[in-house]
Structure 1
Amino acid sequence: MAEAYENKPTSRIMIGDQAPLSMYLREIENGELISIPQICAKDNSKSTLFVFLRHFNCMFSREHIRELENTPAILDQLNVVIVSNFEKDAIKEWKQKVNTTLPMYMDPELDLYKIMGFSETANTKAKTFFKAIILSMKTRSIPQRSGRDTPGHLGGNMIVDKEGKVTYLYRSESPDDRPLPYDILKSLR
């Protein structure tokens, strides 16, 4: 896999930048590498929203996916794909538990996460922890951890337009920090 990343960017991506053309994710079904432009080209009539998950047990990531899927305007205007560092079997389990049909891709070494500037957080505030407990009680779902779980890593969102430019970038600052679907839609105007 190292050869796939020979030309990977070395600086953080910003709004207005070209999407990282030389970065690859792994497809779940066959494990093959696929580039960001190839993912976007699957339906290039719309821009693509990449949703970067935190970790396998993150209730805030799960809730964010549910919010996006329950916002018809998001699904009408954007191709939504999920990026995770989970292992293949964990992704399949996660998709089933969350009940999502959105396509998911693997970034096992967090290469794209790093280029996107999604940071790690060493401390999770007690308030965030209690919010997660309440959310898990509400959804009645607490999954087991994946072998490659990264609870300290934060996620975010990125929109790549039809020309391959980054038009929206949201870097979470805490585990419960995710953009509202409305804010994502506002960025499309």
Structure 2
Amino acid sequence: MAASITRSPDIPPSATDLRDAYNLQLQSASGDPVSFGDLILEKGEITTIVVFIRHFFCVYDQDYVRSVSHHLTDSVLQTTPAAAGGPIQLIIIGCGDPSLIVPYVSDTDAHFPVYSDPDGKVYEKLHMERTVANIMRPPVYTDVGFWRSMGMTLRQMVGRGWKGLRGGRWDQNGGEWVFRNGRCRFVHRMESVSDHLTAGELMRILERRGSGDEVALGKVED
């Protein structure tokens, strides 16, 4: 797997890379396979927000998922300007063992479907970066400092027994993507450990897309 992204953090993948990514398999909480494309290529008009997270024991990302779940409820998503063109769904994809999805949902109160890419093949195909840059700099979506977050992470790992070693690569970062009718409409690849878009920034993207304006963050296909 590449150690760093091979293109700008906001440039959509090529048509070939996207097609290949759609054919790759994710796993559900029960371990059942589901292709990435099956989650995106819905019939009819639908907007899909995909949040790729870091490893399942990352406290920063756990707080991020809590924030997104709190602010971007289904009722909020369906009343954004973008929803005028059809329903909106949000899914979360991690990179650890799928058996950790159920406790992750419980711990974070995630209100959205969670899947896993334990081999990191979708992350790789979509050119998401592997780095621990800024790991000591807490993001705005958490109140937990670095040393406390490390202690919390280690306690969680110990509490999961041998599965504590299967939460996913510590250096694998994710990002936020918006798809519509199978097309990639917006890309934000994390460039550091603390670089998710906030719930407010995601709302801005949906509002701009609904009004037909260009978004200020990331790159949107014409």
- Please say whether Structure 1 and Structure 2 have the same fold, judged by a TM-score greater than 0.5: yes
Which residue of 1 is the match for residue 12 of structure 2? 15
- Please, which of 129, 148, 166 is the counterpart of residue 147 of structure 1? 166
Match of 2:122, SS state, is helix
Q: Give the TM-score normalised by structure 1.
A: 0.76
Q: Give the TM-score normalised by structure 2.
A: 0.66
Which residue of 2 is the match for residue 58 of structure 1? 58
Aligned equivalents of 2:155 and 2:67: distance in 1? 18
Aligned equivalents of 1:117 and 1:140: distance in 2? 26
Q: Provide, for residues 2-56 of structure 1, a one-character-per-residue CA deviation record: whole Å limited to 9, x for no partner.
A: xxxxxxxxx8694385543323322222422x22332135685431111111112
Range that drifts further, 104-113 or 116-125:
116-125
Q: 1:140 to 1:30 in 2, by over 3 A?
A: closer
RMSD: 3.2
Q: Are 1:182 and 2:200 an aligned pair?
A: yes
Taking only the aligned residue pairs, the percentage that are identical comes to: 16
Aligned equivalents of 1:140 and 1:113: distance in 2? 22
Q: Are 1:156 and 2:156 an aligned pair?
A: no
Instruction: Write out the 4+ residue segments of structure 1 that deviate beyond 6 Å after TM superposition.
Output: none
Report the AA paired with residue 86 of structure 1: G
- Please, which of 168, 173, 185 is the counterpart of residue 186 of structure 2? 168
**Shift, 1:75, TM fit:** 3.5
Q: 1:179 to 1:123 in 2, by over 3 A?
A: closer
Q: Unpaired segments of 5 or more residues in structure 2? A: 1-5, 158-163, 209-222
Q: Unpaired segments of 5 or more residues in structure 1? A: 1-10
Q: Provide, for residues 92-149 of structure 1, a one-character-per-residue CA deviation record: whole Å limited to 9, x for no partner.
A: 2211111224211121110111122211115554334973445689x99952234253
Match of 1:157, SS state, is strand
Instruction: Find the structure with the greater CA-based Rg.
Output: 2
